[in-house]
Amino acid sequence: MSRIGIIGGSGLYKMEGIKMVKQVSVDTPFGKPSDELTIGKLEGKEVVFLPRHSMGHRISPSKINYRANIYAMKKLGVERVISVTACGSLKKEIKPLDFVVVNQFVDRTNQAREMTFFDNSIVAHISFAHPVCEELSSLLFRTGYGLGKKFKFKIHKGGTYINMEGPAFSTLAESNLYRRWGMDVIGMTNMSEAKLAREAEICYSTLAAVTDFDCWHPQHETITIDMVIRNLQRNIENAKRILGSAIKNLSLDRTCSCKDALKYAIITDRKLIPAKIKKDLGIIIGKYVK
Ligand SMILES: [Zn+2]
């Protein structure tokens, strides 16, 4: 069983195209995921959909149970996760309604959110120099590039996503600082997911939809929440097009290195790993720890 996970961000709370839908409630050793997960078929492939902030958008970025969300995906047989996420742009050439297939992250959270499965009696250091799945990301870009010509949107290959804490947006000084650092887009959620997905040996890619310029841009003052929401809706329509087409063309066999991310990462003496941890993390570490 190899399924494709979709995590929907702001504006994407359900995927209408999914057929033979089943809603499942999943328990994990880390608590409950953001919402029930939807299992069904999209373009002939098995997919699992989860709204990151829950239906009705009730969970703030700081309070999302990222571990439960990724663990639930793993438990349901997901091997690849495509994240759709709204973001602000920090560069003038990345405009509202554009997409960015993110390839790097910088962490500016307050580190309070749980971003690892390995913080209790077992230690693992995954390689995270290249935090997204190259194979999946390049498929998303190629697909978006083709569709962008037809539906009049632009997609950027690669870009650095600075993960701020939120929920308030940046100050002007922060926004200008991130620009000087060379950051491309800003959001509040995706880095935590990328780390956990890598630990769980799940391929992860971010399709970032630009809703607006962050506050550094002179145009920012004249933007109303209405305009942002209208942009978000157009973004989501295009994101669904990209998702459908990418999933249709996705081969089920993985040739990337994500599937072996833990192979040399677990450093703890196997004899000292408690039975409860082996059981709780079994679906993630079972290949390496008996
Ligand atoms: Zn991969």
The pLDDT tens digits for 16-29 are 889 989 999 999 99
The yes-or-no verdict on residue 1 having pLDDT over 80 is no
The alpha carbon of 193 and the centre of ligand 1 are apart by a number of angstroms equal to: 14
Active site residues: 212, 214
The one-letter code for the residue type at 253 is: D
Residue type, 179: R
pLDDT given at position 228: 84
| CA 284 – CA 290 distance, rounded (Å) | 12
* CA neighbours closer than 13 Å in the CB half-sphere of residue 9: 23
- Residue-level length of the chain: 290
Q: Determine the distance separating the centroid of ligand 1 and the alpha carbon of 261, expressed in angstroms.
A: 9
**Percent of the chain's residues with pLDDT above 90:** 90
What CA–CA distances, in Å, run from 211 to 93, 96, 106, 165? 14, 5, 20, 18
Residues 80, 137 contacting (CB under 8 angstroms): no
Q: Could you tell me the distance, in angstroms and rounded to a whole number, from the CA of residue 205 to the centre of ligand 1?
A: 9
Asked if pLDDT for residue 66 goes beyond 90, the answer is yes
Residue 72 contacts residue 37 (beta carbons within 8 Å): yes
Is the pLDDT reported for residue 110 higher than 80?
A: yes
- How much is the average pLDDT of 244-272? 95
Three-class SS state of 1: coil
pTM: 0.96
Mean pLDDT, residues 258-286 taken together: 97
Q: How far is the CA of 137 from the centre of ligand 1 (A)?
A: 9
Average pLDDT (223-244) is 91
Q: What is the pLDDT of residue 20?
A: 86
171-221 pLDDT, tens digit per residue, is 999 999 999 999 999 999 999 999 999 999 999 999 999 999 999 999 888
Strand 37-42, strand 45-51: pairing: antiparallel
Q: How far is the CA of 57 from the centre of ligand 1 (A)?
A: 29
Q: What was the pLDDT predicted at 60? A: 96
